[in-house]
Protein backbone atom coordinates (compact mmCIF):
# COMPACT_ATOMS: atom_id res chain seq x y z
CA UNK A 1 0.00 0.00 0.00
CA UNK A 2 1.47 3.33 -1.03
CA UNK A 3 1.30 6.42 1.18
CA UNK A 4 1.20 9.80 -0.55
CA UNK A 5 1.56 12.89 1.58
CA UNK A 6 1.38 15.93 -0.71
CA UNK A 7 -0.93 16.98 -3.56
CA UNK A 8 2.01 16.73 -6.00
CA UNK A 9 2.89 13.18 -4.90
CA UNK A 10 -0.74 12.07 -5.01
CA UNK A 11 -1.38 13.62 -8.40
CA UNK A 12 1.82 12.03 -9.78
CA UNK A 13 0.66 8.60 -8.61
CA UNK A 14 -2.84 9.11 -10.05
CA UNK A 15 -1.63 10.46 -13.41
CA UNK A 16 0.71 7.47 -13.82
CA UNK A 17 -2.18 5.03 -13.13
CA UNK A 18 -4.45 6.89 -15.54
CA UNK A 19 -1.81 6.68 -18.29
CA UNK A 20 -1.81 2.89 -17.78
CA UNK A 21 -5.61 2.90 -18.31
CA UNK A 22 -6.36 2.00 -14.71
CA UNK A 23 -9.80 2.88 -13.31
CA UNK A 24 -9.37 4.74 -10.01
CA UNK A 25 -11.91 4.50 -7.19
CA UNK A 26 -11.77 6.80 -4.18
CA UNK A 27 -13.45 7.14 -0.78
CA UNK A 28 -12.24 9.99 1.44
CA UNK A 29 -12.38 9.77 5.24
CA UNK A 30 -11.37 11.65 8.36
CA UNK A 31 -9.86 8.45 9.79
CA UNK A 32 -10.71 6.55 12.98
CA UNK A 33 -12.10 3.92 10.68
CA UNK A 34 -14.94 1.49 11.32
CA UNK A 35 -16.77 -1.14 9.25
CA UNK A 36 -18.94 1.54 7.58
CA UNK A 37 -15.85 3.22 6.14
CA UNK A 38 -14.34 -0.10 5.06
CA UNK A 39 -17.54 -1.09 3.20
CA UNK A 40 -16.88 1.81 0.80
CA UNK A 41 -13.75 0.11 -0.55
CA UNK A 42 -15.67 -3.12 -1.27
CA UNK A 43 -18.21 -1.08 -3.25
CA UNK A 44 -15.41 0.44 -5.34
CA UNK A 45 -14.07 -3.04 -6.15
CA UNK A 46 -17.57 -4.24 -7.07
CA UNK A 47 -17.81 -1.28 -9.43
CA UNK A 48 -14.78 -2.49 -11.34
CA UNK A 49 -12.11 -0.15 -10.00
CA UNK A 50 -8.54 -1.40 -10.60
CA UNK A 51 -7.10 1.01 -8.05
CA UNK A 52 -8.89 1.56 -4.74
CA UNK A 53 -7.70 4.70 -2.96
CA UNK A 54 -8.46 6.27 0.40
CA UNK A 55 -7.62 9.54 2.09
CA UNK A 56 -7.34 10.38 5.75
CA UNK A 57 -7.56 14.08 6.50
CA UNK A 58 -9.29 15.75 9.44
CA UNK A 59 -10.32 18.88 7.59
CA UNK A 60 -10.19 21.97 9.83
CA UNK A 61 -12.38 24.10 7.53
CA UNK A 62 -15.46 21.92 8.03
CA UNK A 63 -15.39 22.35 11.83
CA UNK A 64 -16.98 25.45 13.34
CA UNK A 65 -15.64 27.40 16.34
CA UNK A 66 -16.21 25.36 19.50
CA UNK A 67 -16.65 22.10 17.55
CA UNK A 68 -14.48 19.02 18.06
CA UNK A 69 -11.61 19.55 15.55
CA UNK A 70 -8.87 19.30 18.21
CA UNK A 71 -10.29 16.30 19.99
CA UNK A 72 -11.57 14.45 16.90
CA UNK A 73 -10.23 10.88 17.33
CA UNK A 74 -7.08 10.13 15.32
CA UNK A 75 -5.43 6.72 14.99
CA UNK A 76 -3.29 6.61 11.87
CA UNK A 77 -1.46 3.35 12.61
CA UNK A 78 -4.65 1.35 13.15
CA UNK A 79 -6.36 3.05 10.16
CA UNK A 80 -3.51 2.12 7.84
CA UNK A 81 -3.58 -1.51 8.88
CA UNK A 82 -7.38 -1.65 8.35
CA UNK A 83 -7.02 -0.07 4.90
CA UNK A 84 -4.27 -2.53 3.98
CA UNK A 85 -6.52 -5.43 5.01
CA UNK A 86 -9.36 -3.92 2.96
CA UNK A 87 -7.16 -4.09 -0.14
CA UNK A 88 -6.65 -0.36 -0.55
CA UNK A 89 -3.69 0.32 -2.86
CA UNK A 90 -2.91 3.95 -2.04
CA UNK A 91 -3.70 6.30 0.82
CA UNK A 92 -3.50 10.07 0.57
CA UNK A 93 -2.48 11.63 3.91
CA UNK A 94 -1.96 15.34 3.34
CA UNK A 95 -1.01 17.72 6.14
CA UNK A 96 -3.05 20.86 6.85
CA UNK A 97 -0.31 23.11 5.42
CA UNK A 98 -0.22 21.05 2.21
CA UNK A 99 -3.97 21.36 1.78
CA UNK A 100 -4.25 25.01 2.77
CA UNK A 101 -0.97 26.76 1.97
CA UNK A 102 -0.61 30.31 3.24
CA UNK A 103 -2.52 32.75 1.08
CA UNK A 104 -5.15 30.21 0.05
CA UNK A 105 -8.42 32.08 -0.60
CA UNK A 106 -10.65 29.96 -2.84
CA UNK A 107 -13.70 28.07 -1.59
CA UNK A 108 -16.47 25.96 -3.12
CA UNK A 109 -19.97 26.95 -2.03
CA UNK A 110 -22.85 24.70 -3.09
CA UNK A 111 -25.62 27.18 -2.44
CA UNK A 112 -28.98 25.33 -2.42
CA UNK A 113 -28.62 21.87 -1.01
CA UNK A 114 -26.21 23.04 1.71
CA UNK A 115 -29.04 25.03 3.29
CA UNK A 116 -31.31 23.66 6.04
CA UNK A 117 -30.78 20.53 8.15
CA UNK A 118 -27.09 20.35 9.23
CA UNK A 119 -26.27 23.38 7.04
CA UNK A 120 -28.25 25.65 9.37
CA UNK A 121 -26.83 24.14 12.57
CA UNK A 122 -23.22 24.11 11.35
CA UNK A 123 -22.64 27.35 9.39
CA UNK A 124 -19.76 26.98 6.93
CA UNK A 125 -19.62 23.19 7.37
CA UNK A 126 -20.66 22.24 3.83
CA UNK A 127 -18.48 24.93 2.31
CA UNK A 128 -15.54 23.31 4.12
CA UNK A 129 -16.64 19.86 2.93
CA UNK A 130 -17.15 20.89 -0.71
CA UNK A 131 -13.83 22.74 -0.81
CA UNK A 132 -11.81 19.88 0.65
CA UNK A 133 -13.51 17.25 -1.52
CA UNK A 134 -12.85 19.35 -4.65
CA UNK A 135 -9.19 19.52 -3.65
CA UNK A 136 -9.05 15.77 -2.91
CA UNK A 137 -10.67 15.04 -6.29
CA UNK A 138 -8.04 17.18 -8.03
CA UNK A 139 -5.22 15.28 -6.34
CA UNK A 140 -6.60 11.73 -6.54
CA UNK A 141 -8.28 12.17 -9.97
CA UNK A 142 -10.73 9.28 -9.44
CA UNK A 143 -13.15 7.91 -12.02
CA UNK A 144 -15.57 6.85 -9.25
CA UNK A 145 -15.98 8.19 -5.70
CA UNK A 146 -18.17 6.68 -3.02
CA UNK A 147 -19.74 8.49 -0.04
CA UNK A 148 -21.90 7.05 2.74
CA UNK A 149 -25.62 7.79 2.96
CA UNK A 150 -25.02 8.18 6.69
CA UNK A 151 -24.06 11.77 5.78
CA UNK A 152 -27.04 12.16 3.50
CA UNK A 153 -26.88 15.93 3.00
CA UNK A 154 -23.12 15.74 2.40
CA UNK A 155 -23.71 13.16 -0.35
CA UNK A 156 -26.25 15.52 -1.98
CA UNK A 157 -23.77 18.43 -1.76
CA UNK A 158 -21.00 16.37 -3.38
CA UNK A 159 -23.28 15.10 -6.16
CA UNK A 160 -24.32 18.66 -6.93
CA UNK A 161 -20.75 19.97 -6.86
CA UNK A 162 -19.43 17.17 -9.10
CA UNK A 163 -22.16 17.90 -11.63
CA UNK A 164 -21.96 21.69 -11.45
CA UNK A 165 -18.16 21.86 -11.70
CA UNK A 166 -17.86 19.17 -14.41
CA UNK A 167 -15.59 16.89 -12.40
CA UNK A 168 -16.56 13.96 -14.62
CA UNK A 169 -16.51 11.66 -11.59
CA UNK A 170 -19.24 9.10 -10.93
CA UNK A 171 -20.56 9.69 -7.41
CA UNK A 172 -21.95 6.62 -5.67
CA UNK A 173 -23.96 6.50 -2.42
CA UNK A 174 -23.31 3.66 0.05
CA UNK A 175 -25.82 2.22 2.57
CA UNK A 176 -25.51 3.03 6.26
CA UNK A 177 -23.63 0.48 8.36
CA UNK A 178 -25.15 0.02 11.81
CA UNK A 179 -24.10 -1.64 15.05
CA UNK A 180 -26.15 -4.73 15.94
CA UNK A 181 -28.44 -2.63 18.14
CA UNK A 182 -29.19 -0.16 15.33
CA UNK A 183 -26.83 2.73 16.12
CA UNK A 184 -25.35 4.12 12.90
CA UNK A 185 -21.58 3.61 12.96
CA UNK A 186 -19.65 6.85 13.38
CA UNK A 187 -16.18 7.82 14.51
CA UNK A 188 -17.91 10.12 17.01
CA UNK A 189 -19.52 7.11 18.74
CA UNK A 190 -16.17 6.89 20.57
CA UNK A 191 -17.31 9.91 22.59
CA UNK A 192 -20.22 7.93 24.06
CA UNK A 193 -19.85 6.32 27.49
CA UNK A 194 -22.23 3.63 28.85
CA UNK A 195 -25.37 5.68 29.55
CA UNK A 196 -24.88 7.97 26.55
CA UNK A 197 -24.24 4.98 24.30
CA UNK A 198 -27.64 3.55 25.28
CA UNK A 199 -29.32 6.96 24.98
CA UNK A 200 -27.87 7.37 21.46
CA UNK A 201 -30.21 4.62 20.28
CA UNK A 202 -33.09 7.09 20.37
CA UNK A 203 -32.17 8.32 16.86
CA UNK A 204 -32.34 4.94 15.11
CA UNK A 205 -35.28 3.90 17.29
CA UNK A 206 -37.19 6.98 16.11
CA UNK A 207 -36.37 6.23 12.46
CA UNK A 208 -37.39 2.58 12.80
CA UNK A 209 -40.60 3.60 14.54
CA UNK A 210 -41.41 5.91 11.61
CA UNK A 211 -40.56 3.07 9.21
CA UNK A 212 -43.11 0.92 11.05
CA UNK A 213 -45.75 3.64 10.66
CA UNK A 214 -44.90 3.99 6.96
CA UNK A 215 -45.23 0.20 6.59
CA UNK A 216 -48.66 0.45 8.21
CA UNK A 217 -49.74 3.04 5.63
CA UNK A 218 -48.80 6.42 7.15
CA UNK A 219 -47.93 8.75 4.25
CA UNK A 220 -48.00 12.15 5.95
CA UNK A 221 -44.37 13.34 6.06
CA UNK A 222 -45.06 15.59 9.05
CA UNK A 223 -46.49 12.66 11.04
CA UNK A 224 -43.46 10.52 10.15
CA UNK A 225 -41.03 13.27 11.21
CA UNK A 226 -43.05 13.84 14.40
CA UNK A 227 -42.66 10.16 15.32
CA UNK A 228 -38.88 10.48 15.05
CA UNK A 229 -38.90 13.70 17.04
CA UNK A 230 -40.98 12.32 19.90
CA UNK A 231 -38.64 9.34 20.30
CA UNK A 232 -35.61 11.66 20.56
CA UNK A 233 -37.38 14.14 22.83
CA UNK A 234 -38.41 11.26 25.09
CA UNK A 235 -34.75 10.51 25.83
CA UNK A 236 -33.60 12.74 28.71
CA UNK A 237 -29.89 12.50 27.80
CA UNK A 238 -30.51 13.67 24.22
CA UNK A 239 -30.89 17.24 22.99
CA UNK A 240 -33.06 17.25 19.90
CA UNK A 241 -31.85 19.29 16.90
CA UNK A 242 -34.10 18.34 14.00
CA UNK A 243 -36.22 15.59 12.45
CA UNK A 244 -37.35 16.28 8.92
CA UNK A 245 -38.94 14.52 5.98
CA UNK A 246 -37.29 15.36 2.66
CA UNK A 247 -37.29 14.32 -0.97
CA UNK A 248 -34.33 11.91 -1.27
CA UNK A 249 -33.15 13.37 -4.58
CA UNK A 250 -33.58 17.13 -4.07
CA UNK A 251 -33.67 17.29 -0.25
CA UNK A 252 -36.66 19.66 -0.61
CA UNK A 253 -39.46 19.26 1.93
CA UNK A 254 -42.00 16.71 0.65
CA UNK A 255 -45.70 17.31 0.34
CA UNK A 256 -48.18 14.57 1.23
CA UNK A 257 -48.98 11.96 0.24
CA UNK A 258 -45.50 10.67 -0.39
CA UNK A 259 -44.46 7.27 -1.70
CA UNK A 260 -40.76 7.93 -1.19
CA UNK A 261 -39.25 9.98 1.59
CA UNK A 262 -36.01 10.36 3.53
CA UNK A 263 -36.30 11.07 7.25
CA UNK A 264 -33.27 12.84 8.67
CA UNK A 265 -32.53 13.35 12.35
CA UNK A 266 -29.84 15.09 14.40
CA UNK A 267 -29.37 15.27 18.16
CA UNK A 268 -26.71 15.80 20.76
CA UNK A 269 -26.09 12.99 23.21
CA UNK A 270 -23.52 13.85 25.89
CA UNK A 271 -20.43 15.19 24.09
CA UNK A 272 -21.42 13.80 20.67
CA UNK A 273 -23.49 15.37 17.93
CA UNK A 274 -25.13 12.48 16.08
CA UNK A 275 -27.00 12.25 12.77
CA UNK A 276 -28.93 9.44 11.14
CA UNK A 277 -31.49 8.93 8.38
CA UNK A 278 -33.64 6.38 6.61
CA UNK A 279 -35.24 6.32 3.16
CA UNK A 280 -38.73 4.83 2.98
CA UNK A 281 -40.50 3.88 -0.18
CA UNK A 282 -43.59 1.99 -1.19
CA UNK A 283 -42.77 -1.66 -1.64
CA UNK A 284 -40.13 -1.66 1.12
CA UNK A 285 -37.28 0.27 2.65
CA UNK A 286 -34.50 1.32 0.30
Which residues are part of the catalytic machinery? 37
103-142 mask for ligand AMP (x: CB under 6 A)?
----------------------------------------
Among 156, 184, 274, 278, the residue binding ligand AMP under the rule CB under 6 A is 184
**Length reported for the chain:** 286
- Which stretch, 12-20, 28-36, 45-53, 272-280, contacts ligand AMP (CB under 6 A)? 28-36
Which C-beta is closer to ligand AMP: that of 77 or that of 216?
Answer: 77
Q: Does residue 187 bind ligand AMP (CB under 6 A)? A: yes
Under the binding rule (CB under 6 A), the answer on residue 53 touching ligand AMP is no
29 is an interface residue for ligand AMP by CB under 6 A? yes
**Binds ligand AMP by CB under 6 A, chosen from 169, 171, 185, 199:** 185
- Based on CB atoms, which residue is closest to ligand AMP, 185 or 263? 185
Q: Which residues of 146-160 are buried (b: 16+ CB within 10 A; e: fewer)?
A: bbbbbbbbbbbbbbb
CB under 6 A: which stretch of 89-97, 101-109, 185-193, 230-238 binds ligand AMP?
A: 185-193
> Where on the chain is the footprint of ligand AMP (CB under 6 A)?
29-30, 36-37, 39-40, 147-148, 150-151, 174, 176-177, 184-187
Amino acid sequence: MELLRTPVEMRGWADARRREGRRIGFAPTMGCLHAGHLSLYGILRDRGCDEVTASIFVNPTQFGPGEDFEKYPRDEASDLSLLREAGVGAVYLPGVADMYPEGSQTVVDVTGVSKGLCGDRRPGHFQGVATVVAKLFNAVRPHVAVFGEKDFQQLAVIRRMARDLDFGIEIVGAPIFREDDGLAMSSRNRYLDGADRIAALCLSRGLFRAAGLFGAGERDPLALAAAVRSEVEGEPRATFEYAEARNPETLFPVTPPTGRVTLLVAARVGPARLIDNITLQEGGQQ
